[in-house]
Amino acid sequence: MSEAHPSADGLQSRRRRLEGLGTAELVELFGRLDSAERAVQFRLLQKDRAVAVFEDLDPRVQREVVDSLREEATTELFAALDPDDRAPLLDELPAGVAARLLEDLSPDERAQTMALLGYPEDSAGRRMSPQVLTLDEDTTVASALDRVRHAPESVETIYVLPVTGPRRRVHGVVSLRRLLVSDPEARVADLMVPAATVRATDSSEDAANVVRDGGYVAVPVVDTEDRLLGVLTVDDAMRVLEAADDEDAARVGGTEPLRRPYLSAPVLSVVRSRIVWLFVLILAATLTVGVQSYFEAELDAVVALALFIPLLIGTGGNAGSQAATTIVRSMAVGDVRTADVWRVLGRELLTGALLGFSLAAVGIAPAAWVAGWDIAAVLALTVVGVCSLATTVGACIPLVARRIGIDPAIVSAPFISTFVDTTGLVLYFSIAKLILGI
């Protein structure tokens, strides 16, 4: 009855068919399906319907639905799908189902199963610990402590305990420390504090920043309806941030992250992490050859112009790198968001102009002494223009990249240098033509 590799068409038509059925009909249908088909059809349901259906299922069938989602055959079936086909299939799984699905799995099994959950890669949902000890609001301190004492080893942390109400909704958290110093007869509801929570679909880096900025031991991870799915603990948050910083640092420097310690990485994999970008950059740099060919007459007429090319484009590249570095890092720690693009643009234009004027003011006399006042004037104007251009472009490209969904660190400092090289040359020769009348 079930197809081994359902096509996207088959899925779409099945989805439409399911949408035509009422909850009672669906409950009845799920009682009859075989294991793999049950998993597929359940994941085809939109979330609110999945909640309703799951809650109406016979507990035995509920168990079977969860089991079918766990089975290796199901995982393989999902893995074989084209990612685009898989996406519509994976609306967020209801919290009750997700929590049961993830219970008692080994880390390996969990990683496998995560692919079924509908949380994007690098999301908080993929990094959370689903084994979590929750307390009811009406629990007394004494019985809460008793539950802590009998928590299985697999429960990740007992130092921060989410307090949940009906349907696993998170109402607050209480720390073990608070429990220990409180009256054994007190109600947990009177001791809890409002919880900082993160969504399972949030990026794991954003979630880790919440943990770090708040100085928390763990933060509850919830679904879109604030129902508890798990916790993100501080040690996992630190690992997420380390990996993110590794990646940012590598990409800002124009390489792919090695993902292993440098000295243990084979030289060929180091080469591989760098060659693509180096090649892209040299290809981009061929534009500079074109620009110089175009201005060959001017270059021949005033050979002295050539002397300052490396200095000018180097300065532009450096100014651009500085701006890009600042903005990429500010985005990583959450200080700057894509909506700030116009403010950043204004600030960087001003910053670049001020940097350019400062350099020009200091450098114009020595330049005049070496190459004469007319070339010094060309250089001074070019420095102001190149610095303004470089800081603005260097700061805005990462923001634009983020908005269109590219890792801002990829649009790295060397990339910006190469861009500035080309435009800087055009600016230089254009100003020279104008001032020197060549």
Footprint on residues 251-280 left by its own copies (CB under 8 A): 252-255, 258, 261-263, 267-268, 270-271, 273-275, 277-279
Which member of 101, 195, 207, 313 binds its own copies (CB under 8 A)? Answer: 313
Nearer to its own copies, 39 or 234 (CB): 234
78 neighbors 72 (Cβ within 8 angstroms): no
Rounded-to-integer distance, Cα 326 and Cα 370, Å: 35
201 neighbors 125 (Cβ within 8 angstroms): yes
Taking the complex as a whole, how short is the minimal distance between the CB of residue 418 and its own copies, in angstroms?
6
Rounded-to-integer distance, Cα 311 and Cα 307, Å: 8
Q: Which stretch binds its own copies (CB under 8 A): 59-67, 71-79, 130-138, 248-256?
A: 248-256
198 neighbors 174 (Cβ within 8 angstroms): no
Q: Which residues 176-195 are close enough to bind its own copies by CB under 8 A?
A: 176-177, 180-181
Nearer to its own copies, 90 or 148 (CB): 148
Nearer to its own copies, 104 or 335 (CB): 335
Q: Which residues 279-308 are close enough to bind its own copies by CB under 8 A?
A: 279, 281-282, 285-286, 288-289, 292-293, 296, 299-300, 303, 306-308
Q: Which residues 388-427 are close enough to bind its own copies by CB under 8 A?
A: 413-414, 417-418, 421, 425
Angle (CA) 217 220 221, round 5°: 130
Taking the complex as a whole, how short is the minimal distance between the CB of residue 223 and its own copies, in angstroms?
26
Taking the complex as a whole, how short is the minimal distance between the CB of residue 263 and its own copies, in angstroms?
6
Which member of 67, 91, 112, 159 binds its own copies (CB under 8 A)? Answer: 159
What is the maximum alpha-carbon separation in the chain? Answer: 93
Q: How far is CA 395 from CA 277, 398, 417, in A?
A: 20, 6, 12
Taking the complex as a whole, how short is the minimal distance between the CB of residue 131 and its own copies, in angstroms?
14
Which member of 115, 158, 186, 345 binds its own copies (CB under 8 A)? Answer: 158
Contacts 24+ apart (CB under 8 A), 403-410: 403/338, 403/341, 407/247, 407/251, 408/327, 408/328, 408/331, 409/247, 409/248, 409/250, 409/251, 409/252, 409/328, 409/332, 410/251
Rounded-to-integer distance, Cα 349 and Cα 389, Å: 7
What residues have CB less than 8 Å from 13, skipping those under 6 apart?
none
**Cα dihedral sign, 225-226-227-229:** positive
Nearer to its own copies, 117 or 336 (CB): 336
CB count, 10 Å around CB of 281?
Answer: 17
Q: Which residues 13-52 are close enough to bind its own copies by CB under 8 A?
A: none
Nearer to its own copies, 65 or 210 (CB): 210
Q: How far is CA 382 from CA 156, 304, 357, 419, in A?
A: 59, 15, 10, 16
Taking the complex as a whole, how short is the minimal distance between the CB of residue 402 and its own copies, in angstroms?
14
What letter would DSSP give residue 123?
B
CA 312 to the chain's CA centroid: 35
Which member of 24, 311, 361, 434 binds its own copies (CB under 8 A)? Answer: 311
Total residues contacting its own copies by CB under 8 A comes to: 100
Q: Which residues 353-372 are close enough to bind its own copies by CB under 8 A?
A: 354-355, 358-359, 362-363, 370
Residue 152 interacting with its own copies (CB under 8 A): no
309 neighbors 425 (Cβ within 8 angstroms): yes
Taking the complex as a whole, how short is the minimal distance between the CB of residue 328 and its own copies, in angstroms?
8
Q: Which stretch binds its own copies (CB under 8 A): 60-68, 99-107, 132-140, 242-250?
A: 242-250
Nearer to its own copies, 130 or 352 (CB): 352
